[in-house]
Structure 1
Amino acid sequence: MTPAALAELVRNTAVEVLTARGLDTTVLPEAVTVERPRNPEHGDYATNLAMQVGKKAGVVPRDLAGWLAEALGARDEIDSAEVAGPGFLNLRLAADAQGQIVRDVLGSGADYGRGDLYQDLRVNLEFVSANPTGPIHLGGTRWAAVGDALGRVLSFEGADVTREYYFNDAGAQIDRFVSSLIAAARGEPAPEDGYGGDYVAEIAGRVVQAEPGVLELPEAERREAFRRVGVGLMFAEIKQSLHEFGTDFDVFFHEDSLHASGAVTRAVEELKESGQVYAADGAWWLRSTEHGDDKDRVLLKSDGAPAYIAGDVAYLRDKRDRGFELCIYMLGADHHGYIARLKAAAAAFGDDPDVVEVLIGQLVNLVRDGKPVRMSKRAGTVVTMEDLVGAVGVDAARYSLIRSSVDSPVDIDLDLISKHTNENPVYYVQYAHARLCSLQRNATALGIEPGPVAGADLSLLTHDREGELIRTLGEFPRVVVSAAQLREPHRVARYLEEVASAYHKFFDACRVLQPGDDEASPLTIARLQLCEATRQVLVNGLGLLGVRAPEQM
């Protein structure tokens, strides 16, 4: 019995108890909370339902808990129900009901944990969106891992997710990049406000190779050639790096297209017509303070040129015109101001501001030998995605970046995540899966079916370590819902570490395969079913993180 099924059983029982005593059932919440107590001695699960509704129903909470305990104790699914303190209810599942979790996992397979929280919700998930002026740095790498994992989690909960990368290919940063390429092609130092690093020289050389004589062209034509070819080469490198990192996008949206298509002008004119902008000091301003921003924002400068936010406003309008019901932006630590201005832009167009969500990610620091790693050989000033992947591999890099909340800065210890020991979280989880695969191979060699077996007696799984592992597996659907609702895929990673820990403890305490050629006992079959369910949950969870589940290590 999963926690969700148990919660439903508790609620249904509460309805019966209150009805039998002529008490108001409307005081009951739609969803009853059942949780695993910190101390296993208190039971498998606990609920504070009686304390939550007792007074509302006109009864002493402890009395209500006693009535619930009596009624639940009579259910086949419940082994015992005990009242604790002022009205807590501690529950122990019957062995067969507990075994139902294993059946659920095996029956659902790759779909175990899949839900419908956001069924058919059209979500635009924009992440990474680094300027196309250099390789992806560590901040962008964090978003590449976390954003992709969040997209997987939301999709697992039924959302129709479009992963989108916004190329900032309009504005001064591209001009500086082009100037840097031309300087490198001429063998000159980078401009004072330009870009350095070996990659600039590499791309400049490829531009000259692709466009012989480019340096002899008139300045305007020369700059256009370096812009067209050089920025294109940088785009290609970024896309390839992301693909090799396991992060692919459905849409690569170019900022420049908003200006070229007239979308920026149309968006500004629409806001003028609706009275959401006003003229002052020769410029046009968005009335963003009326929608919660700390100050009004300039849309059109006094010279008539669009301010940077004009592109953001037009981009949001474009997303809504494409039919997206929720627009999630994943931005860097220096973008807090975007939260209010993007919500204000949505409100100015007559939308609910909550169609916009902005997630802010904090910085990533690399540490080796206890000291910060600061310099990239290729990029010159920052550590890049390719540096991290080259040092530890894709799996370790992704997992390490995902497993911490993006609200906090994270230190990645390169020494730790390179170790093949239980100290390394990703190794710990992957090793649990490899160990389970090895167990399957051994069972097959003994002529025992390690996969799902109809009629297996799962009520035999009564050992404390078996129960702890089963209940941990039962938490997976709830973990996925929580990760999706809170936009926190790190919850899946931390949960997988709990599964790995529970499995290793189970394996050490409970012999699965008997020595010799004896026929497999019903207990052996039941334990193999539990092992297969554990393997499946690890596969499903690692899949949500975009991390491999290796069969051998």
Structure 2
Amino acid sequence: MTPEQLSALVRAVVAGAVERGTLAVAVPDDVVVERPRNPEHGDYATTVALKLAKQAGRPPREVAEVLAADLREQPGIARVDVAGPGFLNVTFAQGALGQIAVDAVTAGEAYGRTDALAGQRVNLEFVSANPTGPVHIGGTRWAAVGDALGRLLTASGADVSREYYFNDAGSQIDRFARSLVAAAHGRPAPEDGYAGDYIGEIAASVVAAEPGVTELPAEQEQERFRVRGVDLMFGEIKASLADFGVVFDTYFSEATLHASGALEKVIGTLRERGHVYEADGATWLRTTDFGDDKDRPLVKSDGDYTYFAADCAYYQDKRSRGFDRVVIMLGADHAGYVGRYKALVAALGDDPAANLEILLGQLVNLVRDGQPLRMSKRAGTVITLADLVEAVGADAARYALARASVDQQIDLDLDLWSRAASDNPVFYVQYAHARIASLLRGAADLGIDLGTAATVDATPLAHPREVDLLRAVAEFPRVVTAAAELRAPHRVARYLEELAGTYHRFYDVCRVLPRGDDEVTPTTVARLWLCAATAQVLRNGLAVLGVQAPERM
């Protein structure tokens, strides 16, 4: 019995008491059950009686006694104690606890998935680096965290679309094109341009594809370098992300907003709603009416649209595609962006609290031999995704970046994350999976028959270390749901490390495979199911983070 199943059972008991007239309360939508700090207090505890007492007009302990009496009659429950002011401490029957291992193995890849967020349509935008250079380390963090978050939301029942918004319009693209032209002619990059070996490489690729491009009139030449260069750069960005295991459902071009008239349309909508005015030759959105610190321009005095106007159009486009929640992941340097974006959402008639979510991430510092890592020669100014993967590998990079809360700055030690040792968190977790895989291969070599979910006897799993491991396996669905709701993939990583540690402690004291001429006992089979369940959870958890679960290491 998992915590979710116990929660549902307690809720059903409350509903039964209400139906019989034993309790006069509203049946709660959800019942929280938690593992008590002291194992002597049972497997799980709930405060549901305390929460219902006022509504019932009865003392909490009296309500608890009513519920305890009913719970004691339920299959899989060995004991229910009323403690303190009205806590319900529940102890599972031995077989009910062992059944967790059977359920996890039977569910396979589906174990841990829930429908907690079913019905939500989420547009998840992350990375969204301009196609003017390789993905830098900040974008790499969002690639790891954003992809893991998308997997978490999906595992919790949400309908998720991963989206990459690339700014292929505006002044930064013009600077990029001028930098390519300069490189093609062997000139230094413009003062406001882009540097790095990649600029020369892309310029050479453009020239190779269009041999006469450098002989065109200046304006035409720059346009060809712009079109071809952006295409090549963005192709490289997509390839590097794919190598990192991150593929988006939608790659949305800013230029399409301009070409489709979406900016004019959204400004017209905002004007109709009474939030647009003209001043100093420019067109403004009165965002101060919605909590922003100042009003924001939509059209500049020279007639050009602002980036903010494109943001308005882009948000409206997302909502028109049927997404009821827009989640945007940005770097900490975009903190000032939050207020204006919430204001535009409100100006369009939406509720920022319900329809918008902006996550801000802190910096990543790479360290080697105790010193900050040198700049990337190819990128010229930043450390890139490719640099990190080359240093530690894709698995370690993804795990390391998703392991910390996004609001924490990371000092990522490349020496630690690249070594095969137990102090490397990703190695520690992957090794636990590989260790179990080896053990299960050994069982197969010995010809041990594990039976089926219908025939296996899980009641022998009663050793304290077995119970600890069963409880840890049972927690996984709750960890996934909480991590999804809190937008916190790091909770999955920390859980996996705890699970791996719990497994290693179990393995150290609980002999699994028989030695020599020892017989295969029901305990042997039950422990192998427990090992298989642990391996399944490790695989499922690593999959949420986009990390492999190796069979051998």
TM over 0.5, yes or no? yes
> CA deviation digits over 1:390-435, x for unaligned, max 9?
0000000001101111111111111111121111111111111101
- Residue 165 of structure 1 aligns to a residue whose secondary structure is strand
Shift of 1:500: 1.0
Distance in 2, matches of 1:54 and 1:274, equals 48
- Letter of the 2:370 counterpart: G
> CA deviation digits over 1:263-301, x for unaligned, max 9?
112221222233221112222111222223222211111
Partner of 2:540: 540
Distance in 2, matches of 1:448 and 1:281, equals 83
- Letter of the 1:279 counterpart: E
Question: Kindly tell me: are residues 240 and 450 of structure 1, through their superposed partners in 2, closer, same or farther at Cα, counting changes over 3 Å?
Answer: farther
Q: Runs in 1 of length 4+ with deviation above 6 angstroms?
A: 18-21
> CA deviation digits over 1:318-364, x for unaligned, max 9?
11222222211111111123323223222222233321211111111
Question: Kindly tell me: are residues 22 and 442 of structure 1, through their superposed partners in 2, closer, same or farther at Cα, counting changes over 3 Å?
Answer: closer
Map residues 208-227 of structure 1 onto 2, 5 A cutoff: 208-227=207-226
Map residues 323-402 of structure 1 onto 2, 5 A cutoff: 323-353=322-352, 354-402=354-402
> CA deviation digits over 1:436-483, x for unaligned, max 9?
110111000000145855311101111111111111111111111111
% identity of equivalent residues: 61
Distance in 2, matches of 1:38 and 1:363, equals 35
- Letter of the 2:208 counterpart: Q
Partner of 1:520: 520
CA contact (8 A) 2:25 2:55 kept: no
Question: Kindly tell me: are residues 489 and 60 of structure 1, through their superposed partners in 2, closer, same or farther at Cα, counting changes over 3 Å?
Answer: same
CA contact (8 A) 2:429 2:496 kept: yes
Partner of 2:492: 492
Partner of 1:188: 187
Distance in 1, matches of 2:263 and 2:356, equals 19
Distance in 2, matches of 1:380 and 1:368, equals 19
CA contact (8 A) 1:106 1:452 kept: no
Partner of 1:477: 477
Question: Kindly tell me: are residues 450 and 23 of structure 1, through their superposed partners in 2, closer, same or farther at Cα, counting changes over 3 Å?
Answer: closer
CA contact (8 A) 1:451 1:529 kept: no
- Residue 106 of structure 2 aligns to a residue whose secondary structure is helix
Distance in 2, matches of 1:541 and 1:401, equals 15
> CA deviation digits over 1:6-64, x for unaligned, max 9?
122233334556777854222x5321111012333332212222333334433333444
Distance in 2, matches of 1:525 and 1:131, equals 55
CA contact (8 A) 2:450 2:456 kept: no
Distance in 1, matches of 2:394 and 2:183, equals 32
Map residues 114-513 of structure 1 onto 2, 5 A cutoff: 114-353=113-352, 354-449=354-449, 452-513=452-513
Distance in 1, matches of 2:548 and 2:99, equals 28
- Residue 28 of structure 2 aligns to a residue whose secondary structure is coil
CA contact (8 A) 1:299 1:307 kept: yes
- Residue 79 of structure 2 aligns to a residue whose secondary structure is strand
Distance in 2, matches of 1:265 and 1:50, equals 57
- Residue 7 of structure 1 aligns to a residue whose secondary structure is helix
Matched, 1:552 2:545: no
Distance in 2, matches of 1:551 and 1:450, equals 20
> CA deviation digits over 1:362-405, x for unaligned, max 9?
11111112222241121122111000000000000001101111
Corresponding residue pairs, total: 552
Distance in 1, matches of 2:306 and 2:84, equals 62
Question: Kindly tell me: are residues 532 and 295 of structure 1, through their superposed partners in 2, closer, same or farther at Cα, counting changes over 3 Å?
Answer: same
- Residue 460 of structure 1 aligns to a residue whose secondary structure is coil
Question: Kindly tell me: are residues 453 and 46 of structure 1, through their superposed partners in 2, closer, same or farther at Cα, counting changes over 3 Å?
Answer: closer
Partner of 1:112: 111
- Letter of the 2:502 counterpart: A
Distance in 1, matches of 2:482 and 2:366, equals 29
RMSD: 1.9
CA contact (8 A) 1:453 1:529 kept: no
CA contact (8 A) 1:450 1:532 kept: no
> CA deviation digits over 1:500-521, x for unaligned, max 9?
1111111111111111255421
- Letter of the 2:537 counterpart: V
- Which has the larger displacement, 384-393 or 190-199? 190-199
Distance in 2, matches of 1:29 and 1:323, equals 31
- Letter of the 2:8 counterpart: E
Question: Kindly tell me: are residues 482 and 23 of structure 1, through their superposed partners in 2, closer, same or farther at Cα, counting changes over 3 Å?
Answer: same
- Which has the larger displacement, 348-357 or 172-181? 348-357
TM normalised by structure 1 equals: 0.95
- Residue 241 of structure 2 aligns to a residue whose secondary structure is helix
Partner of 1:5: 5
- Letter of the 2:265 counterpart: R
Question: Kindly tell me: are residues 450 and 403 of structure 1, through their superposed partners in 2, closer, same or farther at Cα, counting changes over 3 Å?
Answer: farther
Distance in 2, matches of 1:141 and 1:471, equals 35
- Residue 143 of structure 1 aligns to a residue whose secondary structure is helix
Distance in 2, matches of 1:284 and 1:245, equals 42
- Residue 415 of structure 1 aligns to a residue whose secondary structure is helix
Shift of 1:66: 4.5
- Letter of the 1:345 counterpart: L
CA contact (8 A) 1:452 1:532 kept: no
Distance in 2, matches of 1:449 and 1:262, equals 67
Matched, 1:50 2:36: no
Partner of 1:61: 60
Q: Which runs of 5+ in 2 are unaligned?
A: none
> CA deviation digits over 1:106-135, x for unaligned, max 9?
221111111122324322111100011111
- Letter of the 1:303 counterpart: D
- Residue 458 of structure 1 aligns to a residue whose secondary structure is coil
Shift of 1:158: 2.2
CA contact (8 A) 1:124 1:163 kept: yes
- Letter of the 1:57 counterpart: A
Question: Kindly tell me: are residues 346 and 245 of structure 1, through their superposed partners in 2, closer, same or farther at Cα, counting changes over 3 Å?
Answer: same
- Residue 178 of structure 2 aligns to a residue whose secondary structure is helix
Shift of 1:152: 1.0
Matched, 1:79 2:78: yes
Distance in 2, matches of 1:432 and 1:359, equals 32
Distance in 2, matches of 1:119 and 1:208, equals 51
Shift of 1:217: 1.6
Distance in 1, matches of 2:119 and 2:85, equals 43
- Letter of the 2:441 counterpart: R
Distance in 1, matches of 2:280 and 2:241, equals 44
Distance in 2, matches of 1:449 and 1:169, equals 60
Partner of 1:33: 32
Distance in 2, matches of 1:136 and 1:39, equals 48
> CA deviation digits over 1:76-130, x for unaligned, max 9?
4222333433333322211111122122212211111111223243221111000
- Residue 531 of structure 1 aligns to a residue whose secondary structure is helix
Distance in 2, matches of 1:173 and 1:468, equals 56
CA contact (8 A) 1:452 1:529 kept: no
- Residue 475 of structure 1 aligns to a residue whose secondary structure is helix
- Letter of the 2:395 counterpart: D
